[in-house]
Structure 1
Amino acid sequence: MSKTVLTSVRCFAVGVDLTGNSNKIELSAEIEEKDATNYASQGWGEVMGGLASSELSGEGQWEAGDPSKVDDASWSQLGGVGPWSVSANNAAAVGDLAYLVNAMRSEYKLGEAVGEVAPWTGTAKGSWPVARGQFAHPPGTARTATGTGTGLNLGAVAAGRRLYATLHVLSVAGTTPSITARVESSVDNTFASPTTRLTFSAATAVGGQILRTDGTAITDTWWRMAWTISGTTPSFLFTGALGIQ
């Protein structure tokens, strides 16, 4: 990937696309530094890695009025834990680089001086490890029927590591619409005999979910999202990402 000027970072928080209401998104991850210096360290400091932590912070223009707006979403999510997916190269097309994390919305601030564009700022603290992966479904493609997504060559999952998956349902239409998304793996890109690795709960409204495998090794190297849709004239806009950590 070449050098990038940030002009359209995509950020999905639970069931909301913050792209049109944000002008700054930051994701940080760090390992706590623990002093382990002793008499055998030969006069040099010695450190060990302690607890890992992550944080998402953002800011932008305030809007309110329905669940897709930043104010409604921030208030409803405050203190709650949910999925976040952030792009790193101005896009969220299938295969684009993504960072996934399960995070608690810990802070929300709004308001400014008279005459200023109404702003918001917010922070979310990671509750699971940050996973680096790829977007597996684009946010702007409406789905009205059961189907499967494009395969991604993410690689195998070693023992002790996990496959992480996010689902962000951004809009829902129709009569009694329901979508049940899942993550499938395969030995190759044909998906001739795919194995279901994760299944999200059925979604009937805007919202988000994050799942992960149990740490058992998986030798399959190809992955994709698939979904089952039901209802009368259902239509869903959703996005999701997959990553191994």
Structure 2
Amino acid sequence: MGKIVLLDARLFAPGADLSGASNKIELTSEIEDKDVTNYRSSGWKEVIGGLGSAEISAEGQWEAGDPSKVDDASWSTLGGVGPYTVCPTDSAVGALAYLTSGMRADYKVGDAVGEVAPWSGTVKSSWPLVRGQIAHPPGLARTTTGTGTALNLGAIPAGKRLYAGLHVLSVAGTAAPTITARIESDDAAGFASPITRAVFTPATAPGGQVLRTDGLPITDTYYRVAWDVTGTTPSFMFTISLGIR
């Protein structure tokens, strides 16, 4: 990916796609520097890494009146922790994505008379900010059980984890429509013998979930999303991001 102009960045809060109400999205990630300078530091300040943190800040045009709108979504998650996914260009399968589990720390609305009503807000990380890919796109409705596209994320060494963020954006149907998503891995793109690595809680309404593996090594290099759908005439819009850190 070469230099780009930000024209189609995407922002997914726990159960809402805020891209159409956003005109600015910023990500920051940092590690504390801890001073360990001593008499053997050769006259130079010496530091080591301490606690890490990340932050997502965004702003745009205020809208309200539906759970998918920024005002409704912001009030319902303020002070709560959930998954957030940001894509610099688009949200197709394989698109670059940054994901984290974070707390919605603040929300601001309002401006002077005659101005377009704005909003702004900040998310403070509870988990690391992970660089990954989109494993399921937001604009594709799923009505039956199925599997997604294989992604070659690479093997996971000891001490690192697979992170996954699920954003259920809409639910339709009768007789308790439910979707249960999971992350599978295999050593080949054909997934002849998939292994389940993480399973999300069954979802019956818009919302978000985030999972990570236990830090043990995984030699498989391919990963995909799979899902089970139940209910009468069910339909689900959702997106899932995956990454290793």
Structure 1 length as normaliser, TM-score?
A: 0.99
Give, in whole Å, the separation in 2 of the partners of 1:95 and 1:105. Answer: 27
1:24-35 equivalent positions in 2, closer than 5 A? 24-35=24-35
What is the aligned-residue RMSD (CA, Å)? 0.6
Give, in whole Å, the separation in 1 of the partners of 2:118 and 2:204. Answer: 31
Give, in whole Å, the separation in 1 of the partners of 2:50 and 2:193. Answer: 42
1:1-245 equivalent positions in 2, closer than 5 A? 1-88=1-88, 90-175=89-174, 176-245=176-245
| Cα distance, 1:52 vs structure 2 | 0.4
| Cα distance, 1:35 vs structure 2 | 1.3
Give, in whole Å, the separation in 2 of the partners of 1:225 and 1:42. Answer: 52
Give, in whole Å, the separation in 1 of the partners of 2:151 and 2:42. Answer: 49
2:127 aligned partner, one-letter code: W
| Cα distance, 1:58 vs structure 2 | 0.3
1:43 aligned partner, one-letter code: G
SS at match of 1:71: helix
Structure 2 length as normaliser, TM-score?
A: 0.99
Give, in whole Å, the separation in 2 of the partners of 1:141 and 1:42. Answer: 59
Give, in whole Å, the separation in 2 of the partners of 1:177 and 1:51. Answer: 42
| Cα distance, 1:131 vs structure 2 | 1.1
Q: What is the number of residues matched between the two proteins? A: 244
Give, in whole Å, the separation in 2 of the partners of 1:94 and 1:230. Answer: 24
SS at match of 1:104: strand
Give, in whole Å, the separation in 2 of the partners of 1:127 and 1:105. Answer: 10
1:129 aligned partner, one-letter code: P
Percent of matched pairs sharing the same residue: 68
2:8 aligned partner, one-letter code: S
* Structure 1 stretches of 4+ moved >6 Å: none
| Cα distance, 1:66 vs structure 2 | 1.1
1:158 aligned partner, one-letter code: P
| Cα distance, 1:152 vs structure 2 | 0.1
Give, in whole Å, the separation in 2 of the partners of 1:119 and 1:92. Answer: 24
Q: Deviations over 1:129-177 (max 9, x none)?
A: 1111100001100100000000000001111110000110011111021
SS at match of 1:32: strand
1:61 aligned partner, one-letter code: Q
